[in-house]
């Protein structure tokens, strides 16, 4: 095993780059910290959408068209639930349900979310280590002009339609980061920290809202490289650009870089944003960031790793100076 890479990721967009990284790194060299701010309880199930998307993507079970859930899924449970008048706004496939049932069962038996995630990872044959951002609950909530909404109410039930005025990560201030992740960040072995092209507000910042996480990333010796989720002012998928505008932030790659400025050594922008003006001290890396194919994912992973390695080389050169 060579030096590990730590990836910070949300769901769909993040999972694409995570898959690319897992394919270009040696097996076991990738450690992923997944967002749990979207987690919620529904029909008695403990549901962790981003962890599941990462596990499904890495195990090859993900549905490539829908973008979430499992391929070759069936919907018999959902149809029967609808016939009984049950809530159907959150779609649960028959096989996907097993993940939630097994997670719920293990949590009820006293296992931590990280232990459950580790067990599911092994059962699905995923070599990449995956850790929740915390074993403590953190819940992303959004304030509209009229009310505070739970994340899934906003994201799924209301299809991101309400205008967002404010975002909170309930519980983040008191949540502890995972010790294994802090050890990696504080040690000398880490090759890079990669902040994946996930929604900053909904996927990355819930993780960074855990004080230990942000502080450890800011202090770590390994280079920190982020990939822009915005291409030419647009989000590849989801409400990122819409939310940025609603929150009074310019919908641009540069604006995303500014949110992470204190953490970053390098920022990868799309060729369409080659002229982006980044914060001082953040190297601008230009590449194709749209990931349509597995080849795209691997190529972007190599760009990110090369950026990190050149930061390291630069830092080592700087250290050699008197």
Residues contributing to the site for a copy of itself (CB under 8 A): 43-45, 74, 76-81, 83-87, 94-99, 101-102, 104-105, 108, 119-120, 123-124
Cβ 105 to a copy of itself shortest distance, Å: 5
Nearer to a copy of itself by Cβ, of 119 and 160: the residue is 119
CA end-to-end distance (rounded Å), the chain: 33
Q: For 197, phi and psi rounded to 5 degrees?
A: -75, 60
Nearer to a copy of itself by Cβ, of 16 and 121: the residue is 121
Cβ 56 to a copy of itself shortest distance, Å: 11
Alpha-carbon gap, residue 115 to 183, rounded angstroms: 17
Cβ 87 to a copy of itself shortest distance, Å: 7
Task: Please list, in sequence order, all residues whose beta carbon lies within 8 angstroms of the beta carbon of residue 213, skipping any fewer than 6 positions away.
Answer: 33, 133, 177, 181, 207
Alpha-carbon gap, residue 232 to 202, rounded angstroms: 20
Cβ 185 to a copy of itself shortest distance, Å: 30
Cβ 151 to a copy of itself shortest distance, Å: 20
Q: What is the CA 321 to chain-centroid distance, rounded?
A: 37
Nearer to a copy of itself by Cβ, of 92 and 263: the residue is 92
Alpha-carbon gap, residue 240 to 19, rounded angstroms: 21
Alpha-carbon gap, residue 158 to 45, rounded angstroms: 20
Nearer to a copy of itself by Cβ, of 46 and 307: the residue is 46
Nearer to a copy of itself by Cβ, of 27 and 88: the residue is 88
């Amino acid at each position: 095993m060579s030096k590990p890479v730590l990836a910070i990721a949300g769901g769909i967009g993040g999972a694409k780059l995570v898959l690319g990284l897992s394919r270009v790194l040696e097996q076991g060299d990738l450690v992923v910290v997944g967002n749990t701010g979207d987690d919620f309880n529904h029909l008695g199930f403990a549901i962790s959408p981003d962890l599941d998307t990462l596990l499904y993507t890495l195990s090859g079970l993900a549905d490539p068209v829908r973008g979430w859930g499992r391929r070759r899924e069936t919907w018999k449970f959902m149809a029967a639930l609808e016939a009984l008048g049950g809530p159907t706004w959150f779609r649960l496939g028959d096989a996907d349900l097993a993940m939630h049932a097994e997670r719920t069962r293990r949590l009820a038996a006293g296992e931590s979310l990280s232990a459950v995630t580790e067990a599911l990872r092994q059962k699905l044959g995923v070599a990449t280590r995956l850790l929740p951002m915390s074993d403590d609950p953190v819940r992303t909530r959004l304030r509209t002009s009229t009310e505070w909404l739970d994340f899934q109410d906003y994201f799924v039930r209301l299809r991101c339609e309400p205008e967002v005025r404010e975002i909170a990560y309930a519980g983040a201030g008191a949540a502890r980061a995972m010790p294994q992740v802090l050890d990696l960040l504080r040690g000398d072995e880490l090759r890079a920290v990669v902040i994946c092209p996930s929604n900053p507000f909904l996927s990355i910042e819930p993780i960074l809202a855990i004080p230990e996480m942000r502080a450890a990333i800011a202090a770590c010796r390994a280079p920190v490289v982020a990939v822009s989720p915005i291409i030419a002012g647009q989000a590849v998928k989801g409400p990122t650009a819409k939310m940025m505008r609603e929150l009074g932030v310019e919908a641009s790659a540069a604006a995303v870089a500014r949110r992470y400025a204190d953490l970053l050594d390098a920022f990868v922008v799309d060729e369409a944003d080659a002229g982006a003006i980044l914060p001082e001290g953040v190297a601008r890396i230009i590449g194709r960031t749209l990931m349509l194919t597995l080849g795209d994912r691997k190529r972007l992973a190599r760009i990110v790793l090369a950026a990190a390695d050149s930061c390291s080389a630069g830092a080592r050169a700087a250290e050699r100076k008197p």
